[in-house]
Amino acid sequence: MSKEEKQSKKDRPVHLFEVPERLADETNVKEVGLITLTADEELMCFKRASGNNAKLATELAKASLYEVDGKKLSAGDGSVDSFWKDMDPRLRQLVLTAYTEIHAAKEDDVASFLTSRKLRAG
**Strand, helix or coil at 19?**
coil
- pLDDT tens-digit series, residues 12-59: 999 999 999 999 999 999 999 999 999 999 999 999 999 999 999 999
Mean of pLDDT over the chain: 92
pLDDT at 1 over 60: no
| Per-residue pLDDT, 26 | 96
Q: What are the backbone dihedrals phi and psi of residue 88, each rounded to the nearest 5 degrees, phi first? A: -60, 135
Q: Which domains does the chain have, with CATH numbers?
A: 3-115 (3.30.2220)
Rounded average pLDDT over 59-72: 97
DSSP state of 120: -
Query: How many CB atoms sit inside 10 A of residue 100's CB?
Result: 13
Residue 106: pLDDT band by 50, 70, 90 thresholds? very high
Query: How many CB atoms sit inside 10 A of residue 1's CB?
Result: 13
Rounded average pLDDT over 95-116: 96
Residue 15: strand pairing partners: 34
Residue 8: pLDDT band by 50, 70, 90 thresholds? low
| Per-residue pLDDT, 9 | 73
